[in-house]
Amino acid sequence: MMTPPIAHFGHWYISLPVFMGPVVALFGYIYLQEWRNKRRERKKSKKGA
């Protein structure tokens, strides 16, 4: 009999985000830093003009 996919779904659905937590956190942090850097540079160039 075929194992219903939902029987295993919970295991990897829960464990994957837990393992990938640092990747998401790091991605968010770097993205935010880059966005702030770009905004600062944009402001600087506006002031210069």
Partner 1 sequence: MKRRRAAAAVALVTVAAAGIWPAAALAHGLVGRADLPIPPYLFGWAASIVLVVSFIALAALWKQPRLEDARERRIFDMPRMVDPLCGLIGVALFGIAIYAGLDGTKESNQNLLPNLVYVHFWVGFVLASVILGDVFRVFNPWRAIARAVGWVSGRLGIRSPLRREYPEKLAWLELVYTQKANPRILVWISIGYAVVQLAAMAVYGVERWTQDGDAFSVYFNLFSRISVFVKRGRTVYLRPLLSGVTDMPLKPGSVALLCAAIGSTTFDGASNGPLWASLNPDLQSFFKTLGASANVKIELAGTVGLAACVAAVGLFYHLGVRGMRTVGRGHTTRELARRFAHTLVPIMFAYALAHYFSLLIYQGQAAGYLASNPLGNGSNLFGTAHWGINYGVISGAGIWYVQVGALIAGHVSGLTLAHDRALTVYQRLRDATRSQYWMLVVMVGFTSLGLWLLSAVRGAG
Residue 45 near partner 1 by CB under 8 A: no
- Find the shortest distance in angstroms from Cβ 17 to partner 1: 10
- Radius of gyration from C-alpha coordinates of the chain: 21
Residue 49 near partner 1 by CB under 8 A: no
Residue with tokens 């985000």: 17
Residue 34: Cβ-neighbour burial (10 angstroms; 0-12, 13-18, 19+): exposed
23, 39, 40, 42: residue in contact with partner 1 (rule CB under 8 A): 23
| Residues near partner 1, by CB under 8 A | 2-3, 5-9, 11-12, 15-16, 18-23, 26-27, 30, 33-34
